[in-house]
Structure 1
Amino acid sequence: MGENFAFFLPVMMASFGVVFGFVWSLRVRAAGYWSGAYICVAGGFAVPAGFALVPTPVWGFVADLLFASGFLLFSQALLERWRPNWLLRARIAIWALSLLLCAVALALGNLPLELVASDFGCFLLIGLPLVAGKDHLGNWSDRILFSATALVALDNLARGSTVPLTLSGGSFQSSDYAFLMQALACIFGLFLALAALAANMLDLLTRYQRDALHDPLSGLLNRRGFDDAINQRIRRLPMQGSLIVCDIDHFKMINDVYGHALGDRVIVSLARILARFAPASAVTARFGGEEFVLFLPDTHAARAAGIANEIRESIAQEVADQFGLSRPLTASFGLSTAQSGDASIHDAIARADAALYEAKTRGRNRVCVRRALSAPDTATVDPQSRACNA
C-alpha cells in the first residue's frame, strides 16, 4: 500500500469523526457513537506511523484495541436507531474476548491468529446490529445504512476467513492482506459514513420539523401543527366534525400564587387529560397560554359535548388535588361544529371561541355550544354545565 494512501485513510476517518462530533453537538445522540467509532478506527489505521517511529510489538495490540473499540461503538451507534443497548453485555464480552485472543497471539508471535481474532471480533460486533435492524427498515435512510453495514460486516468476515491466502510471504505492510484491508476500508468506510451521516441528518430534520409543529411544554401540536394536520386531513376528506376550545379558569391566579413552575405542571396535566379522553382520530393542540383546541372528526355536537364534559369533570376532580391547590381548578369549554359554508377550520374556531366567552361570562366551569355566530338561545341543561345553543 502506498504511503500517500495509507496517510489518507486515517485522515478521512478522523474527518468523519469530527463531522459526526458536530452533529452530536446538535443533540443527535447516535452521532456521538459514530464520532467515537471513526476516531478509534482512524487511530487504528494511523498505528503504522507510530510503529515506524518506535518499532515495538505493542503497536499491534494498540491497533487491535482501537479497531475493536471502534466497532463496538459502531454497533452501539446502529442500535441507537434500531434497538438501543440490545445485547450490550454480549457485545462487550465479544470485544473483550477478541482483545484477549489478540494479546495471546501477540505473545505467541502468531500474526495470522491475531488478525483472525481481530477480524472476526469486528465482524460479530457490527454484524449483530443487522439482526436487530432487519425489522426496522421503514425508510430509505435505514435501508441504505443497513446495506452499508452489511458490506462492512462481510468485508471483515471475508478478510478474516482468507488470512492464510492474503498474508502469505513478506511483511504485514507489503502483504495482500494490508492492501485489501486499507482499500476496502476506504470504500466501505466511506459508504458507511455517508449512509450514517444521511440517516443522522434525516433524524435531525425530523426532530426540527416536530419541534416546529409541537408545543414543547405539553407535547401537543402548536397552532402551526394544528393547521398543518387539518390541512392534510381536508386534502383527503371533507371537513366534518366538531371543534372544542378549552381554557383554564383563573389560570393567572395559579401563576401568581403558586409560581410559573407549578403553572407549567398544570398545563402538562391538562394535556394528559385531553389525550386520555380525546378519540384516536382527534387533532389536539395547545394554542398558547392556557388555551387548548380539539378537532373531533366525524363527531356530532352531542357526542363532542359529552367528551368536553368528561374532560371538564376530570379536571375539576383531579388537578387541584394532584398539586395540593387550596381551591378547585376548573376549565371552561366552547364547542362548535364544522359547517359546509366554512371557508376554513378557523370559522369553526371563531364560533367555539364565542361559545367559550359565553361560558366564561356565565360563571365558568361549563360547556357552551354555538353552531352559528348569531345571538345564542340559552338553555340550561345541568347546574354545573350549561349548553348554550345557537
Structure 2
Amino acid sequence: MELNAFLLPTTLATFSLAFAIVWRYGSKPALWWMIAYAAQCAAYLGEIVPTVFHRTIDTMLVDAVFVLGFVGFGQATALFFRWPRRPWLNLGLAAAICALDAWQIFAVDSLKGEILTVDWGLALLALVPFLANLRAAPATPVDRAMVAASVLTVLNCTVISSMFALFGAADASFDTYMSSGYVAWSYTVSTFLNVLVPLVQLTAVALRAIADHRDASEIDLLTGLLNRRGFERACARPGQPQRGFALACDIDHFKAVNDGFGHAVGDGVLVALAGAVRASLPEGAFAARFGGEEFVVFLPGADVDAAVFHANAMLSAFTAEVARALPIPHPVTASLGIAAVGALRSTVHADLQRADRALYAAKQAGRDRISVDSGAQGVEAARAAGERPALRIVA
C-alpha cells in the first residue's frame, strides 16, 4: 500500500486537531468542523485499509461516515453564519441518503448508483444551510470566502462522480473503479480542496473569534452598550465626524433604588435606561455606559434642537419603562447635560467634560431635567422646543 494514500487522511486529521484547539478557545462552529474532518479522515482510511467485514458492509459503513461528516459541515456553516441549524432536517436528509445508498448497494448492486447517491447527497448536505437561508447574503469578504469554499466542496462532490457515471463502463466493478483515473483525479482534487477549504474555514473562525473577543472587551455586558474603551475606539474611527453634540446622563437617586429594592432591580433600572438610550439614537450616533449609572451619547452632525429632542425622548422613555417593568412605586428619573462638540474644541472627549458640568448643574438645580452648556449655539430655540420646563442654560 502506497504511503501517499495516507496523505489525505493525515491532512484531515491535522485539520480536525486544529479545529479542536480553536473550539477549546470558545468557537462553537469549530466543534462541528472538528467532528466533520475527523469523520472524513475515518472514511478515507476506511477506503484504503484492508476489508474488515464483507466489502459491501464496509462500503456502507464508509459511506455513512462520509454522510455524518457532511452533517457536521452543515451544522458548522449554520453556526458560523448564525443561521438556524435545523438539526432534524439535516439528520432526516442524512438518513434518507444512507437508506438510498443501502438500496443501491444491497438491492440494485449498482456502483454508479451508489457513487451518485452519496456524492450528490453530500453536496445537498453542504448546501442545506444556504438553501434554508437564501435571503441572507454574505456581508463580509470572509463570509464570501466561506461561500466560495462551500461551492468548491459541492462541485468536488458532483462533477467527478457525474463524469464517472456518464463515461465509465456500465458494468464497472469496485476494483475497476478504484484503479480508474476518476479515483486518481478525485483524490488529487480532494487533497487540494481539503487543504484550501479548511484553511479558509480556520481563517474565518479565527477572525470571528478575534472580533468576538474585541467586541466583548468593548461592550458593557449588562446593558449591551459600548463601555468606555469601546466609546473611545468609536470616536477614533477614521472619518468619524467630530462636530455634533455630547450628552451625559445620570440616574437620579440611584443609590436609594439599590438600597431600597436590591441590586437586581437596580440592574433593571440600568437596562431600562440603556434601552431608552438605544431607542432614541439616530443613525451614526453611538452611546456608552461609562460606569455605574453614568451614560454618554455622541450625536455627530446634530444641532442643539436635535440634541434636546433626543434627550427628552430618552428621559421620557426611561421613566415610562421603569414604571411599566419594575416594582418601584415611585417614578425613577434621570438628569442630562448637553454640550456642543467641535465648536470650541477638536475632540469629543474634551467636550464631554462640559457635558458633565451641564449634568452636574442639572443635578444641582433639582434633578429630572436637562441642562445645556452655554457654548451651544441656538439654545434659546431649544429652550422653546423643550418638553421639560426645567430645561436651562448653564455657564
The change in CA–CA distance for 1:189 and 1:197 in structure 2 (over 3 A counts) is: same
Residue type of the partner of 2:356?
Answer: D
Distance 1:279 1:89 in 2: 41
Residues in 1 aligned to 2:267 and 2:313: alpha-carbon distance in whole angstroms: 22
Tell me if 1:368 matches 2:380.
no
Among 306, 309, 315, the residue aligned to 1:312: 315
Give the AA of the match of 2:277. L
Shift of 1:49: 5.7
Distance in 1 of aligned mates of 2:35 and 2:388 = 65
Say whether the 8 Å CA contact 1:76–1:85 is kept in structure 2. Answer: no
Partner of 2:100: 101
Within 2, Cα distance between the matches of 1:34 and 1:181?
Answer: 22
Q: Percent identity?
A: 30
Name stretches of at least 5 consecutive residues in structure 1 with no aligned partner.
374-378
Q: Distance in 2 between matches of 1:316 and 1:139?
A: 39
Secondary structure of 2:277's aligned partner: helix
**2:275 matched to 1:250?**
no
**Do the aligned partners of residues 49 and 291 (structure 1) sit closer, same or farther apart at CA in structure 2, a change above 3 Å counting?**
same
Task: Return the offset for 1:252.
Answer: 2.0
Rate the CA distance shift 1:35–1:349 in 2: closer, same or farther, 3 A.
same
Contact 1:221 1:284 in 2 (8 A): yes
Unaligned runs of 5+ in 2: 377-382
TM-score of the aligned structures, taking structure 1 as reference length: 0.87
Matched ranges for 1:1-390 at <5 A = 2-48=1-47, 51-82=50-81, 84-85=83-84, 91-108=90-107, 109-129=109-129, 132=133, 136-164=137-165, 165=167, 168=172, 170=175, 173-232=178-237, 235=239, 237=241, 239-372=242-375, 385-390=390-395
1:278 deviation in Å?
Answer: 2.4
Matched with 2:379 is none
Q: Which deviates further from its counterpart, 271-280 or 286-295?
A: 271-280
Deviation at 1:92, TM superposition (A): 4.2
What amino acid is aligned across from residue 217 of structure 1 in structure 2? L
Decide whether aligned partners of structure 1 residues 324 and 127 sit closer, same or farther in structure 2, where only a CA change above 3 A counts: closer
8 Å CA contact 1:83–1:133 kept in 2: the answer is: no
How has the CA–CA distance of structure 1 residues 176 and 266 changed in structure 2, closer, same or farther, with 3 Å as cutoff? Answer: same
Report the count of equivalent residues. 382
Deviation (angstroms), 1:324: 0.7
Aligned partner of residue 363 in structure 2, secondary structure: helix
Check whether the contact 1:72–1:95 (CA below 8 A) recurs between aligned residues.
Answer: yes
Return the offset for 1:127. 3.8
Q: CA deviation at 1:173?
A: 4.2
Distance 2:272 2:387 in 1: 26
How much does 1:128 deviate?
Answer: 4.7
For normalisation by structure 2, the TM-score amounts to 0.86
Structure-1 residue corresponding to 2:380? none
What is the aligned-residue RMSD (CA, Å)? 2.9
Shift of 1:199: 1.2
> Does the 8 A contact of 1:337 with 1:371 survive in 2?
no
How far has the Cα of 1:65 moved from its partner?
0.7
SS at match of 1:57: helix
The one-character-per-residue Cα deviations of 1:104-153 (angstroms, maximum 9, x if unpaired) are 12213333322221112112222455555796333332333222222221
**CA contact under 8 A between 1:79 and 1:129: conserved in structure 2?**
yes
Secondary structure at the counterpart of residue 290 of structure 2: strand
